[in-house]
Amino acid sequence: MKRVIGTLTATLVFVGLVAGLVAGCSNNRATPIDPNVAGSVAALKTPVSEYSAEAFFETTSFSAAASTGFAYSPDDSAILLNSDESGVFNVYEVNTKTSEREQLTASKTNANFGLSFFPNDRRILFTADNGGDELSHIWVRELDGSVKDLTPTENTKTFFIDWSQDNSEFYVATNERDAKVFDVYAYKADGYGRRSVFENSDALSINAISNDGRWLAMTKSRTSADSDVYLKDLNSQEAAKLITEHEGNIAYGVYAFSPDSKNLILATNEHGEFNQAWSYNLKSGSMALYESANWDISFVGFSKTGRYKYVGVNDDAVVKISITDLNDGGTVTLPPLPIGNVRNIRFSKNDTKLAFFLNGDTSPSDLYTLDMGGATAKRLTTALNPAIDQNDLVEASVVRYESFDGTEIPSILYRPKNASKNNKVPALVFVHGGPGGQTTKGYSALFQHLVNHGYAVLGANNRGSSGYGKTFFHMDDKAHGEGDLQDIVWGRKYLESLEWVDGDKVGIIGGSYGGYMVAAALAFEPEVFDVGIDIFGVTNWVRTLKSIPPWWESFKESLYDEMGDPATDEERHRRISPLFHAQNIVKPLMVIQGANDPRVLQVESDELVAAVKANNVPVEYVIFPDEGHGFRAKKNRITASEAYLKFLDTYLDPQG
């Protein structure tokens, strides 16, 4: 669902159900490319080699350790990162001089993700759940390689917050006391003894703790458009204080505390369509504008010593980062880099080094490091499978099309290199998760594999998507399966208008909320799309909204405001749920499901598949017993992608 759990999006306090740079402004907005012209030169070049799903997913996925931890080892000789090169995500350290990687965790089943080096030795903190059940625990890897669960209670979800200023403790949030709320504990770096920091009796969302350990910032969502920030003085017995009193629907959230613990940097859309950063003085309570752009401010952060500030702007589906030296106010200019966008920057403990990932449409995320002020950056990883020629991959275009009511729908378009007026290709409309997610530019093995095999892909950011202002974001509130679905229907109309697309062969694919849209399209607009691929998709909103995980309590009220309260809106939920209208589905359907999914229960997919089979319609059903809501294992991503392609070749046939 839109706007859930932890990270900041366009409503400041939510992310979507799914399971990603120099400051941006309107002048940096990507110029839409005429899709009937773009790629025409490429289409005349040497034929593109085709690659298997295995080849694409032999490309290694690298990701960063937690932004609030220590990504660099205490001596700066290594950087902590996550990699799926073993088949599932494990934690590695990469040598900053030799680029050699050492595997630190050895899971063969559950994905492990690094959080932080310990500040004074090579122990690490990492997190893992059990088969995608989202009950993630915090683990420590000792110097001898042994591992220990620091949060061993059953049916518990935890997350890492930050280190204390003197590095003697680290903060962890856990719902072990009450599954509906997260309390905060401080763990000793030596011995792991812990003390209670905050008992969360009001089910607030935990966001950040100040460097001096005094202040805890939290949020509370009243509706999907209205949220507040609370501040708790941990040195006082007084309750958390509301610091964002306001009238009307205004969203507030938390970016970070300033390094000197004097200010809290807030997010708000009170002053326009897009999120701005405002500084709240912890002593006086005064507020002042801190950062703004003509797009959403995605995040604000600081280096370990506080010398550097970094700001991310969601600039037309590309997050662009700027870095400022707070000593003199100057902008930090990175050395020349290959084409791509900087992501996930991490500073060393003394701010002398910087690590970051570089990602582009045709280049997966690779890790770089540099000495601050240095003339060159050192590349530490090579993610793309060497068997794939990068020139065979395609750059995406930012495009827009009009929907049924004239609303402009921003989208990301991938065009096969062999597509032309004389060589029309089939196409897919891809729907992201959420519903408040966003399809952005950047590398996607899924998209590149489909495009490499002759399928155009349109990543449609239908109304309700984040990144395009609060008005657009809330256009689908309590209207899912209506205007948002028509935006996707009109995505097909847009594809049919392109001279290089075979307008008789257009399918729909999506995951989570996008999977719901696939099933909804086939059930409510049964003649529009020729095939559908539903990946972990909601099919029965009645059941889904009654069975949400207990740890969603802090934003349950907001979720119900967005989707409707199951106690009062069941009739509408039945009306928009594809399962109750499956008799209308007449086009071939593929359904992908994780057996451990706590958000979309397997029974939903079981029932949809059975109902569509009863229509004598082709249905293919793939269940992954070791996955939850999304893919963690490389072998499963390969299996799924091979299944997508075989299904599409059967029913859309790019050569037919």
Encoded tokens for 370: 């540099």
Look at phi and psi of residue 133 and say left if phi exceeds 0, alpha if psi is from -120 to 50, else beta: alpha
Whether 535 is in a domain gets the answer yes
Asked if residue 593 and residue 515 are part of one domain, the reply reads yes
What is the model's pLDDT at position 478? 82
pLDDT digits 0-9 by tens, 208-256: 999 999 999 999 988 778 999 999 999 999 999 999 999 888 999 999 9
pLDDT digits 0-9 by tens, 43-90: 444 589 999 999 998 899 999 999 999 999 999 999 999 999 999 999
> What does the DSSP 8-state code read for residue 419?
-
pLDDT digits 0-9 by tens, 262-287: 999 999 999 999 999 999 999 999 99
Does residue 379 register a pLDDT over 90?
A: yes
Whether 4 is in a domain gets the answer no
- Segment 293-306 shows an average pLDDT of 96
pLDDT band for position 24 (cuts 50, 70, 90) = very low
What is the model's pLDDT at position 3? 29
Q: Which of 328, 351, 379 is the last residue of a domain?
A: 379
Asked if residue 129 and residue 104 are part of one domain, the reply reads yes
pLDDT band for position 5 (cuts 50, 70, 90) = very low
CA 114-552-434 angle, to 5 degrees, is: 80
The dihedral through the CA atoms of 461, 466, 471, 477 has a sign that is positive
Single-letter code of the amino acid located at 18: V
Whether 325 is in a domain gets the answer no
- Spatial distance between the Cα atoms of 599 and 601, rounded to a whole number of angstroms: 6
Asked if residue 514 and residue 373 are part of one domain, the reply reads no
The CATH code of the domain that includes 597 is: 3.40.50.1820
Asked if residue 355 and residue 482 are part of one domain, the reply reads no
Whether 72 is in a domain gets the answer yes
What is the model's pLDDT at position 44? 41
- Segment 23-39 shows an average pLDDT of 36
- Segment 172-197 shows an average pLDDT of 96
pLDDT digits 0-9 by tens, 409-423: 999 999 999 999 999
Does residue 627 register a pLDDT over 90?
A: no
pLDDT band for position 326 (cuts 50, 70, 90) = very high
Does residue 38 register a pLDDT over 60?
A: no
Number of folded domains that form the chain: 2
pLDDT band for position 654 (cuts 50, 70, 90) = low
The CATH code of the domain that includes 124 is: 2.120.10
Single-letter code of the amino acid located at 437: G
Q: Which of 352, 379, 406 is the last residue of a domain?
A: 379
Asked if residue 90 and residue 205 are part of one domain, the reply reads yes
What is the model's pLDDT at position 563? 79
Closest CA to 16 of 493, 513, 491, 348: 513
Average pLDDT of the chain is 90
Asked if residue 461 and residue 374 are part of one domain, the reply reads no
Higher pLDDT, 16 or 475: 475
Rg of the chain on CA atoms, in Å: 24
Asked if residue 493 and residue 370 are part of one domain, the reply reads no
Does residue 31 register a pLDDT over 80?
A: no
What is the model's pLDDT at position 656? 60
Asked if residue 400 and residue 355 are part of one domain, the reply reads no
Encoded tokens for 392: 């065979």
What is the model's pLDDT at position 624? 92
Asked if residue 439 and residue 366 are part of one domain, the reply reads no
Higher pLDDT, 561 or 445: 445
Domain that holds residue 453: 396-540+577-651
pLDDT band for position 168 (cuts 50, 70, 90) = very high
Whether 334 is in a domain gets the answer no
Higher pLDDT, 425 or 10: 425
Asked if residue 103 and residue 70 are part of one domain, the reply reads yes
What is the model's pLDDT at position 564? 77
- Segment 427-454 shows an average pLDDT of 94
Whether 283 is in a domain gets the answer no
Higher pLDDT, 123 or 226: 123
Whether 479 is in a domain gets the answer yes
Does residue 37 register a pLDDT over 60?
A: no
The dihedral through the CA atoms of 471, 473, 475, 478 has a sign that is negative
Q: List strand residue ranges (DSSP E) for 361-416, in order.
A: 363-371, 378-379, 397-402, 408-414
Asked if residue 481 and residue 355 are part of one domain, the reply reads no
Encoded tokens for 489: 């229907």
What is the model's pLDDT at position 1? 32
pLDDT digits 0-9 by tens, 228-241: 999 999 999 999 99
Contact 150, 138 (CB under 8 A): yes
What is the model's pLDDT at position 205? 95
What is the model's pLDDT at position 569? 85
pLDDT digits 0-9 by tens, 487-537: 999 999 999 999 999 999 999 999 999 999 999 999 999 999 999 999 999
Encoded tokens for 420: 């032309």
The residue with tokens 């011995």 is 191
- Spatial distance between the Cα atoms of 426 and 649, rounded to a whole number of angstroms: 10
- Segment 359-382 shows an average pLDDT of 95
Asked if residue 107 and residue 77 are part of one domain, the reply reads yes
- Spatial distance between the Cα atoms of 628 and 135, rounded to a whole number of angstroms: 11
Q: What are phi and psi of 498, to 5 degrees?
A: -85, 130
Whether 3 is in a domain gets the answer no
Closest CA to 344 of 376, 374, 381: 381
Does residue 14 register a pLDDT over 60?
A: no
Encoded tokens for 482: 């209506």
- Segment 626-644 shows an average pLDDT of 89
What is the model's pLDDT at position 46? 58
- Segment 98-123 shows an average pLDDT of 97
What is the model's pLDDT at position 25? 29
Alpha helices in 182-230 (DSSP H): none
- Spatial distance between the Cα atoms of 632 and 182, rounded to a whole number of angstroms: 25
